[in-house]
Amino acid sequence: MGGPGGPGGQGGPGGQGGPGGGPGGPGGNAQSYNVSGAYSLTDGSSKTETDKTFTSDKQDVSAIYVANKNSKLTLINPTIKTTGNTSSQDGSSFAGLNAGILASKGGSITATSGTIYTTGTGANAAFAYGAGATLNLSNMTIKAMSGGGHAVMTSGGGTIVAKNLDLYTAREHGAPYATDRGGGTIDVTGGTLVADGQDSPCLYSTGLIKVNGGKMRATISEGAVIEGKNTIELTDVDLTGCAKCGAMIYQSFS
């Protein structure tokens, strides 16, 4: 049997699975997944969008995709919604396939106010993939409503700064703040979150997650889970878990 479900539905010693918690296999590779967005910025330019609505109802397609060095998108009070499912649970967890917004390959997204809402299977709401990819999110409401859907997530060494966010995840294997294969850094200040799903802790780290202030509650799962030799740092945080362990550290052998 596997251990607690994490970003991709990671099991315990049995290995690492996809959002549904299946058996583990070799590591995912972002180049294997055809990530794209209904709105894309990939030419190294900078743009600002204010009070705009961004949607995607297609499988594997993000509402917003920003990639490549110097590609920088600033969003002010956006409304972002996706309903498309994933074709690859590993692709969603390792590379941000079908995420609501995706910064990849050095791309940067800054979003202030507004909402992100995803309902597709495996759909993470906000994702940063790879070294140099960054998300700066503040004063937003972010919800991931389906299995395997995390609210704010990074892998492959991405960086996320989150300030005063209101996060919610509804289903299994959906930690609101999570890192996956290759790790990354999430720096959180304030905000609130609720994780309602099975195997959905408030925080799931395969890298570094730092939290200063805020109120967090997992209604079924642990408050925090660390996989392997990684880190969660908490300062003045109200963190509640409802599993046998308030916090868990384990090795997945993935």
pLDDT in tens, 166-177: 999 999 999 999
Cα–Cα distance for residue pair 145/119, rounded to 1 Å: 5
Q: What is the pTM of this model?
A: 0.89
More confident residue, 5 or 136: 136
Report pLDDT for 251: 86
Tell me the average pLDDT across 81-102.
97
**218-229, pLDDT tens digit by residue?**
999 999 999 999
Output the six-digit token pair for 108.
């940067």
| Sign for the pseudo-dihedral over CA of 145, 147, 150, 154 | negative
With a cut of 80, say whether residue 204 has pLDDT above it: yes
For the chain, the structural domain boundaries read 35-247
Cα–Cα distance for residue pair 173/86, rounded to 1 Å: 15
DSSP-based three-state secondary structure for 81: strand
- Residue % of the chain over a pLDDT of 90: 85
With a cut of 80, say whether residue 178 has pLDDT above it: yes
Cα–Cα distance for residue pair 239/231, rounded to 1 Å: 16
Tell me the average pLDDT across 26-55.
86
The values of phi and psi at residue 103, to 5°, are -105, 130
Cα–Cα distance for residue pair 169/151, rounded to 1 Å: 6
Tell me the average pLDDT across 111-132.
98
More confident residue, 17 or 54: 54
With a cut of 90, say whether residue 73 has pLDDT above it: yes
With a cut of 80, say whether residue 83 has pLDDT above it: yes
